[in-house]
Amino acid sequence: MNDQTQAPAPNAAPETPPQHVYAPCPCGQVPESLLIEVAQDNKVARAAGNCCATWYVEFLRGNTVDQQVITDRATKAWDAAPRSTTP
């Protein structure tokens, strides 16, 4: 007599953060990830879309070497960069 009671909802969602949707690249595609170039002696790093690896934004990484922080800054820079809306 234990059917239909307390069926635990199969929580199929593991702890994966939602996929970030990047702003479209000037090449017309939406990159799935960013290629980040960090030069050791330069506080300015570059991030290019993986769609074409041609367009890039520069952003200030400062002194951090924390990959998560750098990725976060790159993502913000990419999304905030002005881009032409002309097709």
Residues that bind Zn ion (CB under 5 A): 25, 27, 49, 51-52
62 alpha-carbon distance from chain centroid: 19
CB of 49 to Zn ion, least distance (A): 4
CB of 25 to Zn ion, least distance (A): 3
Q: What share of the chain is helix, strand, coil (3-state, %, to 5)?
A: 15, 15, 65
CB of 29 to Zn ion, least distance (A): 5
By beta-carbon proximity to Zn ion, the closer residue of 68 and 85 is 85
By beta-carbon proximity to Zn ion, the closer residue of 51 and 77 is 51
Query: Which value, to the nearest 10 degrees, does the dihedral of the CA atoms of residues 17, 34, 50, 13 take?
Result: 0
By beta-carbon proximity to Zn ion, the closer residue of 38 and 52 is 52
Question: Which residues share a beta bridge with 36?
Answer: 47
